[in-house]
Amino acid sequence: MLQLEEELNLDEKLSNWNVVRCYTFQLHQVARTTQFIPEPRKLLRLNIPRLTAAARGDIRESGGNVTQLCMDLQNGPLHVFGEHKDCHTMYCVRKDYLEVNYVPLLSNAKIFPEIVQCSDILLRRAGRLTEHVTTNVAENYMSLVSKYGGGKRIDFSKSGAYQCRCLVVALYHYTGPSYIDIPWKMQTDQSPGVTTINIIKRRENRRAARRLSSDNDTPQTKRRKIEVSTNAEYEPDAAEIYIDVEEEMERRKKYVLDLFAEEVDCKEKCLLL
């Protein structure tokens, strides 16, 4: 339990994924600002995926060098919109492509400073980004809590209802199905009964079987496919059906008259009774 708490102690740090997501959100906000003319806003909206990918690549290839990371992040918008004079030759291969430089167009429209300002959230956290902080452990733990929480079916207003399930999740994560054995021995100073031991064994067997089936080397069991023959009347080569319109109308007219005669006959019988 203490080990799990230490792993979850992230000092309220945003993960790299969340920081880049905030950066992307701010770029979309700039693209929606109607005070700029439509053409540069459309150009920005089309290149937001490239700006996000460039930021992720700079963080991934920083190698722990905060100064170099800041320089790459500042150069990211210039690289995406066609100005490669400050790009490193080790990762920029677009210098020889003769791309159109859209930076003057965006600068004249006064939208380029707003794009550069969006990268401030990355520059302020450059020191953290090089540490590759993630919240994967916390998210995995919360997924387990949601699995054993019971959702709205459980009344969490009772004492210890939610805290007890969080402790059970931690025990199950590190000990497996035998987590029942640990609190049992602490409370009763003896081993569980035969029924509880059998339940633990069955759960361990199922868990081992799931792990074995998820192994790539183990061939997966394929479901038997049921072949259903198509109806010949609906196949592409089905013969066209000729319908005589006059004959069909006469048949329907006769059917309606017969129904009306039956209804009249039934009412007459009811009146006689």
At 22 the three-state DSSP class reads: helix
Report whether 170 contacts 140 (CB < 8 A): no
Q: What is the pLDDT, as a whole number, of residue 3? A: 45
Give the single-character DSSP code of 133. Answer: -
pLDDT at 158: 67
Q: pLDDT tens string for the chain (273 positions)?
A: 444 444 444 444 567 888 888 999 999 999 998 888 889 899 999 999 999 988 888 888 888 888 888 888 888 898 888 888 878 766 777 777 778 888 888 889 889 999 999 988 888 888 878 877 777 777 777 777 777 776 656 666 666 677 777 777 777 777 777 777 777 888 888 888 888 888 888 888 888 887 787 765 555 555 666 665 555 555 555 556 666 778 878 888 888 888 777 877 776 666 655
- Give the sign of the dihedral formed by CA 54, CA 59, CA 63, CA 65: positive
CA 165/CA 148 separation, integer angstroms: 7
Which residues fall within 8 angstroms of residue 267, CB to CB, at 6 or more apart? none
Place of tokens 């030759």: 89
Domain layout of the chain by residue ranges: 2-129, 157-213
94 contacts 75 by C-beta, under 8 angstroms: no
Q: How many alpha carbons lie under 13 Å from residue 17 in its C-beta half-sphere?
A: 4
Q: Is the dihedral of CA 145, 147, 148, 152 positive or negative?
A: positive
pLDDT at residue 243, rounded to an integer: 67
| pLDDT at residue number 225 | 61
Query: Which secondary-structure segment (H or E) carries 177?
Result: none
| pLDDT computed for residue 174 by the predictor | 75
**Residue of 199, 137, 213, 196 whose CA lies nearest to 169:** 137
3-state helix, strand, coil in the chain (%, to 5): 65, 0, 35
Give me the helix-helix angle, 16-31 and 38-60, nearest 10°: 170
